[in-house]
A and B are shown apart, each in its own frame.
Chain A
Amino acid sequence: MASIRMERLRKVFGKVVAVADVSLEIADGEFMVLLGPSGCGKTTMLRCLAGLERPDGGRVFIGDRDVTDAPPAARGIAMVFQSYAVFPHMTVRDNIAFGLRMRGVPPDEVRRRVQDGAALLQIDQLLDRYPAQLSGGQRQRVAVARAIVMQPQVLLMDEPLSNLDALLRLQMRAELKRLHEEVRSTTVYVTHDQVEALSLGQRIAVIRGGGVVQCDTPARVYDAPANRFVGGFIGSPPMNFLDATLRRDGASAAVEVQGARIALPRVPQATDGSVVVGIRPEHIAVQPAPSPDGVRARVVVLEPLGPQTLLTVRAGTETLKVTAPVEFHAEPGAEVWLRFDPARIRLMDARTGDALGG
């Protein structure tokens, strides 16, 4: 187990800057998720940590050791690839034992660790099969087993669940979390799925355009997104954004959104004027009757999702998503009033999109 430190890591492919001077620290035993849309540089960052890409600038430290110039074999890492990269010409047993045998671990120890690893991933019945005879989920478990039996200082995972069907993904997510709790290795996990990030990560680094936009616990990334991008990326359905006007009055403050006046619980550190109000769909209450802090809107579409109902409403020129209880009923075109939970409003700068403090 070891801590990881990236210092001003930079990787360029031709003219494209994939990783833009990123500095990040990961604690020993921590499960860090690198989350971001396709092409944001998260996989490149992971590969730089693994030693599969040589950075064009900056340094990588694993456990206080500078490994920037070290080959993958000398870094004390183990990696699970998106396509699993299970060796097709070896049995499951030989696959799992591969790394151990390369390190010269004695055969008895190899046998024991392979058995334990396979049991942990529940594939001990499949040890003598070839990968071609396994399902995708089973192959994925082989890839994970192969990595964890190495007892690496750092475990790297590149979107290991993205090739699985939805139900299997759900199961494997819980398995990986249980595994981390048992094995407690420092893990860096790359994904574009924000649900996976929220579920698995002890901390999430949201990445965009080669840089870390916010690095925080899942709760804080969800409740206090650093900017509009994070707010809109995390959460399904994503955060709503409305133009508003901030008015401060000594000890109190309020935002005016399309004629509705919503009192804020705290006075924010910002100047009066245009702001953007960020509010999540589940923090909006829908009412059939008008009120001074209710924003008027028209129902566009009503989607019954099982445990709740998802409404698409139109308020002025903005389209918003609102989650309502299952019993809620309204005809498309009906007028409703939206009341925002003031404690959950996240104010953002109208120009930069960054969250406003306070």
Chain B
Amino acid sequence: MSAAARRALLALAVTGVTAWVLAPIVLIALASFTTRSQLYAWPRSVIPDPWSVETLRFFLQAQGVLQATWHSLVVAILTIALAIVIGAPAGYALSRFRFAGREAFRLAILGTKMFPATILAVPLAVSFIQWGLYDTLLGVAFVHTALALPFAIIITTSVFVGVPFELEEAAMTLGCGRLQAFLRVALPIALPGLAAAAIFTFVLSWNEVFAATILTLRTRTLPALVMNAVGSAGAPADFRFAAGFFMIVPALIIIMVIRRYLLTLWGVTVR
């Protein structure tokens, strides 16, 4: 195959994959700015005319939406706090200490990701009811932490590997104990990397729908609410489009903002 033909094929493949990913997002976004009457019209132009926030406003004023958004935010913040408080020391330990079973431990952390959440659903709900965590934001946060920890620990481990241990040794010769050297030298230097881990965790928690749906009844997070509204209550099309768009926007913004930073974090700088 000639070089030109290969390039053309590559371009085609890239366009195809990009379209596959972007098309639904673009369609949902456009639909969210279309008035309801226009949405149900046939034939319907893809581009809204006129642009209107009526649909979005309908969604936001629907029952429980703003409160669910607040719940999602609270759960995300709790998850970030737990993931960092557990994940940062874990990452530090994995990066600094050589202990028996270290590799097994690392694989086990990753292994939790391979476990299908559906199998856990009923036992988890039962346990949560017994512990009084059912239908609480804290309960959801615990599950989200468990889901986020593997990624958080991978990131924090590589972050602390990138902090030279010599800096902590220098701090120790200057009067710090082990813990102080960690708090005053390693942690501040690791902060940007920990921020990246926190952002990852936020996106993961914000978008998580399964555990949130199973484990809550009235104190719902936004994805759980929308799931219920769309699935059980049969919400109309305009509600769905607006909900989809509203839920995607925070993740999109965050990922676009930290994209360059993320890729540099992993050693490849992409312009």
Contact = CB atoms under 8 A, between A and B. Distances in A.
> Is B one of A's binding partners?
yes
B185 A87 contact: yes
A87 B167 contact: yes
A130 interface: no
A47 to B, nearest CB: 9
Interface stretch (B48-56, B130-138, B169-177): B169-177
A81 B166 contact: yes
Interface stretch (A70-78, A269-277, A316-324, A337-345): A70-78
B171 A98 contact: yes
A88 interface: yes
A87 B176 CA distance: 14
A88 B173 CA distance: 17
Interface in A71-124: 71-73, 77-79, 81, 83, 85, 87-89, 98-99, 102-103
A2 to B, nearest CB: 15
Contacts of A89: 185, 188-189
A89 B167 CA distance: 11
Given A87-B171, A89-B189, 14 more contacts: A52-B173, A73-B172, A73-B173, A73-B175, A77-B173, A78-B173, A85-B167, A88-B167, A89-B188, A98-B171, A98-B174, A99-B174, A103-B175, A150-B174
A42 interface: no
A79 B176 contact: no
Interface string B172-202: 1111110010000100110000000000000
A50 interface: yes
A52 B175 contact: no
Interface of A: 50-52, 71-73, 77-79, 81, 83, 85, 87-89, 98-99, 102-103, 146, 150, 156
A225 to B, nearest CB: 34
B154 to A, nearest CB: 23
Given A71-B172, A81-B170, A88 B189 contact: yes
Contact of A102 (B164, B166, B174, B189): B174
B188 to A, nearest CB: 5
A103 B173 CA distance: 11
B223 to A, nearest CB: 38
A72 B167 contact: no
Contacts of B169: 52, 72, 79, 81, 85
Contact of B177 (A52, A73, A83): A73
Nearest to B175: A102
B243 to A, nearest CB: 42
A71 B180 CA distance: 13
A83 B164 contact: yes
A77 B185 CA distance: 19
A66 to B, nearest CB: 19
Contacts of B189: 87-89
Contact of B172 (A72, A88, A146): A72
A156 to B, nearest CB: 8
A79 B188 contact: no
Contact of A85 (B164, B176, B177): B164
